[in-house]
Structure 1
Amino acid sequence: MSTLKEQVIIVTGASSGIGKATSIRLAKEGAVLALADINEKSLALTLQQCAQASNDNQKHLTRRLDVCSTTDIEQFVKDVMAELGSITHVFNCAGINPTTLEISQISDDYWHKMVDTNLKSMFTMTRACLPHMKSGGSFVNVSSVLGLHPTEGLGVYCATKYAVIGMSKCLALETGRRGIRVNVICPGPINTPTNNSVREGKERVDATAATIGLGRLGTAEEVADVVAFLFSEQSRYVNGSVVEINGGMGMPA
């Protein structure tokens, strides 16, 4: 029997990529999902696939959500509690990919959009959910390999992803005393439509793959498997951990 059966799990950024794949994976495990994204049309497709994957025809909740809005997040959490009655786990997956810019080229608007989407949203969602969570619950927050390794031209993005790790580790200390775990995943190059290498075409994908030990980009489903593990009872002593999912990036065969 799945340890996630009938557990209520929030997923932000659920309409595509890692968020979508993870939603479907959790649905297969029998979880009850509260799915959020700013793209309502794509979110509806995720819901359809989750419904098909659910073992027991679970009723899932979806909402259009601007994760940059504190008001939106607080209302979303109220809706989850009103309709689903509890919150067990939270997957803070919503985020935006960067544009390569030198610091002198970065506008205030770009800074705020990046920080609000990749970092503030995690803080705001966590703050809103924690009062409703009990021992045994957990958070998985999405950082990046660029939250571990500085990269020229991606200063703001790296800053947000480094900060996700720092805040998550502090939260793991605070919430651990309540039996609530907080962990971080750091995906490397994953074959999703928003991945920079994928957007630039096969030649760039092949060049990126050549820098990875496994010789290929990862899939969103492979990331989803790790998230499902971190929510499961099998990871009950995993807290404050940073899990790299990168196929051996920087260690080519």
Structure 2
Amino acid sequence: MASSLNGKVALITGAASGIGRATAVKLSKLGCALALTDVVEAGLSETAELCYTEKVIVAQLDVSNAEQCDLVVKETVEYFKRLDHVFNCAGINPTAYPILELPEGYFDKLVAVNLKGTYNVTRSTLSHLKEHADCSFVNVSSILGQRPSKEMAAYCATKYAIIGFSKSMALELGPKGIRVNIVAPGFIDTPTNASVKAGPEAVERSAQSVSLGRLGQAEEVANAVAFLMGDEAKYINGSVVEINGGLAY
């Protein structure tokens, strides 16, 4: 059976590595044309080479910059003549800070990228998504967008906010036939994961808190994203899909 995503166009932020890259590869397998963006330009070409389609364009994008978002989206629509799905994956992973040691600049950067970046891309793309044409947004939150963690106040704030923002989007856009859903990954084995960066002992500690006994793979998040964009999820709107291997709360 042909994929319902065949022939569709998806824009992905944070596509140079990790979950963004894995999702690009997955969607390309399903027949999507892709606009791949990331603030780190170096990895975008490699992601494009891994994809199963030649219908790919790449662009460096700082999602915290509204003007850049407008320009990249304009170029995407001019090139492909359409836009169907948006994966807001760009974000900054957490660093632990006690409240009184939390640098103001770090707080501002998390809000600018994780939260306002999602808003900027949404605002730039929304008018290009055709109503009642199976279009959708999938936004990335986190397990820390559903439960608090000490010394993670700034990151939790942005990821809780993504869920609230996305659920409000779903209520507003649902009548137009545009769906909005959220993925909330747990410990995923990506280059920017805090445990992975800290080394094998930290990875093992993280894995021990998961009932499946391991970190997740970026491809496993990508599978969920592709599902939420496809016809199989046509009645799923405003939902948070946890991808955490059975993490103990």
TM, length-normalised to structure 1: 0.95
Counterpart-to-counterpart distance in 2, 1:199 and 1:109: 22
2:36 matched residue in structure 1: 35
Whichever residue aligns with residue 44 of structure 1, its letter is S
**Correspondence list, 1:133-172, <5 A:** 133-134=129-130, 135=132, 136-172=134-170
1:191 matched residue in structure 2: 189
Of 210, 213, 220, which aligns to 1:212? 210
1:85 paired with 2:86, answer: no
Deviation of 1:108 (Å)? 2.3
Q: Which runs of 5+ in 1 are unaligned?
A: none
Counterpart-to-counterpart distance in 1, 2:194 and 2:55: 35
Deviations 1:38-83 (A, max 9, x none): 1111111001111xx23xxx42111011111001001011101111
Give 3-state SS (helix, strand or coil) of 1:215's partner. Answer: coil
Counterpart-to-counterpart distance in 2, 1:33 and 1:80: 9
1:179 matched residue in structure 2: 177
Counterpart-to-counterpart distance in 1, 2:50 and 2:94: 29
Deviation of 1:231 (Å)? 0.4
1:114 matched residue in structure 2: 110
Whichever residue aligns with residue 2 of structure 1, its letter is S
- Deviant stretches of 4+, over 6 Å: none
Whichever residue aligns with residue 83 of structure 2, its letter is I
Whichever residue aligns with residue 19 of structure 2, its letter is I
Of 222, 225, 240, which aligns to 1:224? 222
How many corresponding residue pairs?
Answer: 246
Deviation of 1:235 (Å)? 0.2
Give 3-state SS (helix, strand or coil) of 1:66's partner. Answer: coil
Counterpart-to-counterpart distance in 1, 2:189 and 2:95: 18
Counterpart-to-counterpart distance in 1, 2:105 and 2:200: 32
Whichever residue aligns with residue 92 of structure 1, its letter is N
Of 92, 109, 112, which aligns to 1:96? 92
Counterpart-to-counterpart distance in 2, 1:25 and 1:8: 13
Q: Which runs of 5+ in 2 are unaligned?
A: none
1:128 paired with 2:124, answer: yes
**Cα RMSD, aligned residues only:** 0.9
Give 3-state SS (helix, strand or coil) of 1:146's partner. Answer: helix
Whichever residue aligns with residue 190 of structure 1, its letter is I
Select between 127-136 and 102-111 the one with higher mean Cα deviation.
102-111
Counterpart-to-counterpart distance in 2, 1:160 and 1:225: 24
Whichever residue aligns with residue 85 of structure 1, its letter is K
Q: Percent identity between the aligned chains?
A: 49
Deviation of 1:112 (Å)? 1.2
Give 3-state SS (helix, strand or coil) of 1:91's partner. Answer: strand
2:201 matched residue in structure 1: 203
Whichever residue aligns with residue 132 of structure 1, its letter is H
1:20 matched residue in structure 2: 21
Deviations 1:89-141 (A, max 9, x none): 00000001121111211222111100011010111111111111122100000
Counterpart-to-counterpart distance in 2, 1:118 and 1:152: 19
Counterpart-to-counterpart distance in 2, 1:24 and 1:230: 16
Deviations 1:157-185 (A, max 9, x none): 00000000000000000000100000000
Whichever residue aligns with residue 66 of structure 1, its letter is D
